[in-house]
Structure formats: C-alpha cells, structure tokens
Amino acid sequence: MEHQTQQEQAEPEVQARIRASFERQGLMGHLGARVTHIAPGCVHIVLPGRPEVTQQHGYFHAGATSAIADSAGGYAAFTLFPENTSVLTVEYKINLLAPAEGDHIEAVGTVLKSGRTLTVCRLEVFAVQGERRSLVATGQQTLIRVNKPEQ
C-alpha cells in the first residue's frame, strides 16, 4: 500500500459503497467531516475548523481528531473488503503529537495488512493552515470484517 500516488482512486463501485456508508454515520455528519479521497487501502477524511469541534484552548478536540482517524482507517480497510461485508473497529490507539490547530485537520487511514478476518491500519492526522501541513496525531487500528447476513 505504501507506493500509491495521490491520484490513484478506488473503483467507482467501491467509492459509492464507501460514500453511502459514510453518509449513514451520524457522528461524521454532526462533526461536519467529509471524505476527500478514496483509493485502494487508503482513505482521507477532512474536518473543517469551527468552534463546535474545539477544546477549551481553541485546538481541535482530541475526540474529534480521534473520531475522524478511526473512520479514515475503517474506510481504508473497507475499500479492500468484498461486497456484502461490513467493517467494525476492534481497537485503536492514537498518540497526540502536537496541538491541532489550523483551517482544518485531515485524517489519513492506510492499510498495513489486510487479512481474511482482521485488518491493521496506520492512522495519521495532519493539521492544515494554508500551505502548512503538520502531523499532529498518529496511531494504529485493528478492524474486523463482518459478513452481512443473507437477506
């Protein structure tokens, strides 16, 4: 997964499946987050800055930062899953490296290992202010592929 270009895109059916699932996430809608890039094994989610997603010092709240990181990794894994499956987070750990301040933050989920049942992803969150982009959080996540019941 490491050698992808930013221009690489997932197949249209996969993109549609990711976007449809993302639209059903109440928290992402509530936060104002949006998916900006969907490639095989890699998804970017952007969260614009506004008072509702900050903590007492005006930085992006760790909860908002963690939430978009979790979703970016989950959807990165989901890009590699077959149809009629779903994804759930088993666990994740995130390290907050610096206060997150800027116009927006961008979470990047990247699949490190996609297995039959479990998938492991790298999580990165960048704070973006104009042309400046700095890493503010990093983590790792384990996800499980869930087969949807037959209808």
- Which pLDDT belongs to residue 127? 98
Please write the tens of the pLDDT for every residue from 52-102.
999 999 999 999 999 999 999 999 999 999 989 999 999 999 999 999 999
Q: For the chain, what are the domain ranges?
A: 12-147
State in words which class domain 12-147 has.
alpha beta
Please write the tens of the pLDDT for every residue from 30-48.
999 999 999 999 999 999 9
Percent of the chain beyond pLDDT 70? 94
Distance (Å, rounded) from C-alpha 80 to C-alpha 41? 6
